[in-house]
Amino acid sequence: MNEENTLIPPAAGSEASYRHWRMETDRDGLVWLTLDKAGSSTNTLSREVLDEFESILDGFIARNPRGLIIRSGKEKGFIAGADINEFDDIDKPEVAVALMRRGWDLFNKLAAVRFPTLALVRGFCMGGGLELALACRYRIAVDDPSTRFALPEVMLGILPGWGGVKRLTGVVGPTAGLDMMLTGRAVDARRAKQIGLVDASVPPRVMENSARVMLVRGNPPRELPLVQRLLHGPLRNVAARFALKQLERKARREHYPAPYAILELWQKYDGDPFAPPPHDPASIAYLVQHPTTKNLIRVFHLQERLKSLGKGIGFEAKHVHVIGAGTMGGDIAAVCALRGLTVTLQDTAPERLGPAMKRAAELFRKRIRDRLRARDAMDRLIPDLAGDGIRRADVVIEAVVENLQVKQELFARIEAQAKPGAILATNTSSLKLADIGAQMRDPSRLVGLHFFNPVPQMMLVEVVSGTGTDPEWARRALAFVRQIDKLPLPTKDTAGFLVNRVLMPYMLNAFRMVDEGLAPETVDKAAEQFGMPMGPITLADTVGLDICAVVGKQLVPEAAPPRKLSQLVEAGKLGKKSGEGFYRWHEGKPVKGPAGHVDETLIRRLLTPYLDEARRAVEEGIVADADLADAGLIFGTGFAPFRGGPLHYARSLEQEQH
């Protein structure tokens, strides 16, 4: 903080001392209120934090300061939202309503104060954090890559009940506001400025000054542009109908009731969550009793558990070397560079590296809007034909062709050159670590890092330990996976690890159902009706039927190859990449005919091998427990999240039957 901004501490005895909040008054008479939640690296709005905030706010209301600036005392992040650990009994309507009442009343009080208020946001500003910021008169975003605004409640099956539904659309207009709330998607500082979510987006060095100037000037808050004002007012039903159409294309109401509730709450009740009666699907009471909500909260906790597996390990990579710039290696390298690591990428010829560099540039353009930062990411990704990077890397990832001899020789060479502390990892999908490491001096160093295709989109990475792998190396690999913002799942080294092992019998079953005369469209419809993001036949066409045939044979050798699949592969109809497979593909999309009737029996028949195999994988200890299997299969195969995971779903089926 510069000298100009010297803060005068409050006079002794003038403020109670708080555990989570600090406050100082500067010489302009502005109060700087800093949230620094005790005992936590992240600010969340726990009951205690809210209670303290209310008491502080009451004091200000009595005193009427010149202005109030709310900011975070954490290194990373403004406020992550409500404290989800306090959501234990949230499926009880009275608990949910009381929790909602707490934030709703408090933020209404904040919105009603007479003095000007400003939220100075650096880092993530999520859920209740954004609702707090929306209740302030002004908002400033610090333009920093970590600054992100979102109302992600919909992902937990609930709604932004602390004023978000009402205020967000009022501040940014229904188009951007509904999009944020119905998808849970985050916006960065610049986008926040564009849509009017913040009044200014400023670089870190001037953030305090900008906040002070904005409060002292006290300009009237921005008004909505005309079209948005109309859509928010007299044309609200038109805006809602349009949003509903888009929503219906993305999520079924019976699977995901929350986005529909948010939309209706806005349309019919002007965002007041206490207005709908308890049986109304737009009410929080209805939502929290819906099984989807419980399951989505479960999935949130599963995700946190995967994240925690990579925490506190004390390994941090600066430089990654990737060998093999094909489909997988190229994208793994790009993702590492995107996350701030220096990456050297090796292949056998410059023309192999070219396409990977081009794909990386596209990824950076899409994911990093700022041109300079995108260029920095590109600068971090270095083509390295000679493989000089191996000597400097903290992690070496091999992603060359699936050929044992090639990999064996490569690892003998890598081991001789790499730093003693470097993780040595293979992305193999079917070879045994013990075999790949056979020519290494110390094969206990070798771990598997099994990424999924497409790497930038798929969250999961299986961290594979072979029989000889030293657990310490596997632990470091977990930390590395977190560092590149993926979810690590520790698995044992058996054919297909967890994800492919479970997926394959399900896919083979789907092919067989086609052999028995069902249309591919019908099989896909059964999966989609259950809630899978993509039917197994479309998935097979997307992955490539040749790959499916080979992996199928590898993982389920005893099964006769499915007839139609073999015919298609023989005819060179390999799916999306060749323009035709089970479906004809046009402009990247399958051309589908009508699907037949789908009922519960058909769905169950399609899914049984999936559920059985997941159970067997846990019994055999491929992953440590059923929850980890559920997590892996949700984040690795997209198993319908609102079902809570395959094993959880199987258990709930059994309970229903008893």
- Annotated catalytic residues are 429, 450, 462, 500
Q: Which residue, 283 or 428, is less far from ligand NAI as judged by CB?
A: 428
* Interface with ligand NAI, residue 495, by CB under 6 A: no
Angle at 629 between CA 623 and CA 631, to 5 degrees: 125
Q: Which residues ranging from 519 to 548 are in contact with ligand NAI (CB under 6 A)?
A: none
**Residue from the set 244, 399, 508, 626 that interacts with ligand NAI by CB under 6 A:** 399
Angle at 488 between CA 485 and CA 490, to 5 degrees: 170
* Interface with ligand NAI, residue 444, by CB under 6 A: no
**Residue from the set 194, 327, 417, 566 that interacts with ligand NAI by CB under 6 A:** 327
Q: Which residues ranging from 455 to 494 are in contact with ligand NAI (CB under 6 A)?
A: none
* Interface with ligand NAI, residue 192, by CB under 6 A: no
Minimum distance between the CB of residue 426 and ligand NAI, rounded to whole angstroms?
7
The answer to whether 323 and 398 have CB atoms below 8 angstroms apart is yes
Minimum distance between the CB of residue 402 and ligand NAI, rounded to whole angstroms?
4
Question: How would you classify the pairing of strands 446-451 and 423-426?
Answer: parallel
Question: What is the full DSSP assignment across 173-229?
Answer: -HHHHHHHHHH---EEHHHHHHHTSSSEEE-GGGHHHHHHHHHHH-PPPPPPPHHHH
**Residue from the set 324, 437, 488, 581 that interacts with ligand NAI by CB under 6 A:** 324
* Interface with ligand NAI, residue 346, by CB under 6 A: yes
Q: Which residue, 159 or 397, is less far from ligand NAI as judged by CB?
A: 397
* Interface with ligand NAI, residue 410, by CB under 6 A: yes
> Which segment (207-215, 421-429, 509-517, 519-527) binds ligand NAI by CB under 6 A?
421-429
Rounded distance, CA 45 to CA 72, Å? 12
Query: In 339-417, where does DSSP find H-type helix?
Result: 350-367, 371-380, 404-417
Q: Which residue, 347 or 580, is less far from ligand NAI as judged by CB?
A: 347
The answer to whether 6 and 28 have CB atoms below 8 angstroms apart is no
* Interface with ligand NAI, residue 401, by CB under 6 A: yes
Minimum distance between the CB of residue 403 and ligand NAI, rounded to whole angstroms?
8
> Which segment (322-330, 471-479, 485-493, 631-639) binds ligand NAI by CB under 6 A?
322-330
Q: Which residues ranging from 11 to 70 are in contact with ligand NAI (CB under 6 A)?
A: none
- In the DSSP assignment, the letter for residue 360 is H
**Residue from the set 453, 554, 578, 608 that interacts with ligand NAI by CB under 6 A:** 453
* Interface with ligand NAI, residue 417, by CB under 6 A: no
* Interface with ligand NAI, residue 328, by CB under 6 A: yes
> Which segment (29-37, 174-182, 235-243, 321-329) binds ligand NAI by CB under 6 A?
321-329
> Which segment (69-77, 303-311, 427-435, 512-520) binds ligand NAI by CB under 6 A?
427-435
Rounded distance, CA 494 to CA 448, Å? 11
Q: Which residues ranging from 356 to 375 are in contact with ligand NAI (CB under 6 A)?
A: none
392's tokens: 């400097």
The answer to whether 445 and 472 have CB atoms below 8 angstroms apart is no
Minimum distance between the CB of residue 325 and ligand NAI, rounded to whole angstroms?
5
* Interface with ligand NAI, residue 400, by CB under 6 A: yes
The amino acid present at 326, given as its one-letter code, is G
Q: Which residue, 182 or 399, is less far from ligand NAI as judged by CB?
A: 399
> Which segment (9-17, 317-325, 359-367, 433-441) binds ligand NAI by CB under 6 A?
317-325
Which residues, in sequence order, are bridge partners of residue 245?
Answer: none
Helix axes 563-570, 545-555, angle to 10 degrees: 130
**Residue from the set 113, 406, 434, 550 that interacts with ligand NAI by CB under 6 A:** 406
Q: Which residue, 374 or 481, is less far from ligand NAI as judged by CB?
A: 481
The answer to whether 648 and 611 have CB atoms below 8 angstroms apart is no
* Interface with ligand NAI, residue 325, by CB under 6 A: yes
Nearest CA to 149 among 80, 69, 215? 80
* Interface with ligand NAI, residue 108, by CB under 6 A: no
> Cα separations (Å) of 268 from 224, 275, 461?
21, 9, 43
> Which segment (425-433, 575-583, 618-626, 630-638) binds ligand NAI by CB under 6 A?
425-433
Question: How would you classify the pairing of strands 148-150 and 187-188?
Answer: antiparallel
Q: Which residue, 323 or 555, is less far from ligand NAI as judged by CB?
A: 323
The answer to whether 536 and 489 have CB atoms below 8 angstroms apart is no
Q: Which residue, 160 or 324, is less far from ligand NAI as judged by CB?
A: 324
Minimum distance between the CB of residue 349 and ligand NAI, rounded to whole angstroms?
7
CB-neighbour burial class of residue 324 (10 A; exposed 0-12, middle 13-18, buried 19+): buried
Q: Which residue, 65 or 636, is less far from ligand NAI as judged by CB?
A: 636
CB-neighbour burial class of residue 217 (10 A; exposed 0-12, middle 13-18, buried 19+): exposed
347's tokens: 């292949």
Minimum distance between the CB of residue 407 and ligand NAI, rounded to whole angstroms?
7
The answer to whether 492 and 622 have CB atoms below 8 angstroms apart is yes
* Interface with ligand NAI, residue 348, by CB under 6 A: yes
Minimum distance between the CB of residue 449 and ligand NAI, rounded to whole angstroms?
10
**Residue from the set 402, 442, 472, 485 that interacts with ligand NAI by CB under 6 A:** 402
Nearest CA to 292 among 25, 615, 651, 640? 640
* Interface with ligand NAI, residue 347, by CB under 6 A: yes
Q: Considering just the CA atoms, what is the radius of gyration of the chain in Å? A: 27
Minimum distance between the CB of residue 87 and ligand NAI, rounded to whole angstroms?
36
Rounded distance, CA 446 to CA 476, Å? 12
Rounded distance, CA 183 to CA 259, Å? 8
Please give the sequence-ordered ranges of beta strands (E in DSSP) within 429-577, or none if there are none. Answer: 446-451, 460-465, 487-492
* Interface with ligand NAI, residue 389, by CB under 6 A: no
Rounded distance, CA 347 to CA 356, Å? 10
Q: How many residues bind ligand NAI (CB under 6 A)?
A: 23
- Number of residue whose CB is nearest ligand NAI: 326
Residues that bind ligand NAI (CB under 6 A): 323-329, 346-348, 352, 399-402, 406, 410, 427-429, 450-451, 453
